Amino acid sequence: MEVKMAKVQVLNANTRQSELIRPDLAKRPRPTEQIIQAILLACGAISILTTLGIIYELGKEAWLFFGSPEVDLIEFFTTTQWQPSIGLFGVLPLVNATLMTSFFAMLIALPFGLMTAVFLSEYASPQMRGILKPILEILAGVPTVVYGYFALTFMTPLLKSIFGDAHVNIYNTLSAGLVMGVMILPTVSSMSEDALNAVPRSLREGAYGLGATRFETAMQIVVPAALSGIVAAFILGIARAVGETMIVALAAGAGPNFTFNPFQSAETMTGYIARISGGDVAYDTPDYNSIFAIGLLLFLVTLVLNIISRRLVRRFREVYE
């Protein structure tokens, strides 16, 4: 009995001592943190409201186009003549030109962007990376109108000298797409490099310990481990190419043309919007209302690309502890 009483006294003493040294665990007011949370919430709300506003305005104005008795949705998506002023509403020439320029842009941006990211992440020294990466990112800061004139004054004459003047038009989708790929390259390489750098060092060391070379480690270990981030970079690059305006407006052409010849001129969806938005078209005419229909179509294409990107990222994501 005495032993039990002694244990109870020791336990009570320890409890009182722990209560004396226990810090105050109650939530203390942090005004600065609450202000930051309110600012972040306001920024998120503004972003959502802005997106909803864009959707509302595009949908409202596009309804004036699609609600016209002259416009048929089947004709809109299946025919190859686009002249709204005379009642021809086939959007395929604009879509085809957009896909062609985006395809040529990806032929440049995807392989060169990935190779650049692998070099900066796996081969370049910290000093070399500190020099090369800012130089590469300068390309992202060049105005797109400069790229457009570069395509018109440099890339097109270069293509003419290679394939002949008789085969290459002054305005063509190939030169616009190739220069657009140069413009997108920093975005793809930067995001891909971030994904490669996020791969744990232990995977590289394990590969080196098994006798793999640096190239084998980069291609067979690091790149597959960072595949989700690389895919996200590729999808973002494609969305950037689809939405590019000034390069295609200056170098691709200013007239709808349903063609698969990359040496001929063809107008993209963004190029058409830029041309019609110049102020020469009256309000509530088929030409004017059509730019909102094209804008809504571009919005839906970008939305689909983002959904695909998120699903691919979840599909290929690797989680490391």
Report helix, strand or coil for 22: coil
- pLDDT for the residue 3: 46
- pLDDT for the residue 42: 94
The two tokens of residue 100 are: 């062609």
- pLDDT for the residue 13: 52
CA distances 98 to 199, 234, 250, 270, Å, are: 35, 17, 14, 8
Rounded to the nearest 10 degrees, what angle do helices 173-197 and 227-242 cross at? Answer: 150
- pLDDT for the residue 68: 83
Domain ranges in the chain are: 96-268
CA distances 257 to 137, 160, 277, 281, 291, Å, are: 34, 20, 19, 21, 17
**Torsion angle in degrees (nearest 10) through CA of 31, 34, 39, 44:** 180
Please tell me the number of Cα atoms within 13 Å of 71 on its side-chain side.
23
The residues pairing with 89 across neighbouring beta strands, listed in sequence order, are 82
Distance separating alpha carbons of residues 20 and 22, to the nearest angstrom = 6
The two tokens of residue 215 are: 């190239």
Question: pLDDT tens digits for the chain (321 residues)?
Answer: 554 454 545 455 555 555 544 455 556 767 788 899 999 999 999 999 998 998 888 888 888 888 888 888 888 888 888 888 888 888 999 999 999 999 999 999 999 999 999 998 888 888 888 888 888 888 888 888 999 999 999 999 999 998 888 888 999 999 999 999 999 998 899 889 888 888 888 888 888 888 888 888 888 888 888 888 888 888 888 888 888 888 998 999 888 889 899 999 999 999 998 888 876 777 778 888 888 889 889 988 888 888 887 887 777 666 555
Please tell me the number of Cα atoms within 13 Å of 253 on its side-chain side.
27
Helix (H) or strand (E) holding 89: strand 88-89
pLDDT tens by residue, 177-210: 999 999 999 889 988 988 888 888 888 888 888 8
- pLDDT for the residue 9: 52
The two tokens of residue 310 are: 């998120």
Q: Are residues 213 and 274 in contact, defined by beta-carbon separation less than 8 angstroms? A: no
Residue whose entry in the numeric block shows the structure tokens 């078209």: 281
Residue 67: Cβ within 10 Å count: 9
Vertex 299 angle, CA 293 and 301, to 5°: 105
DSSP assignment letter at 255: S
- pLDDT for the residue 21: 46
Q: Say which CATH architecture domain 96-268 belongs to.
A: Orthogonal Bundle (1.10)
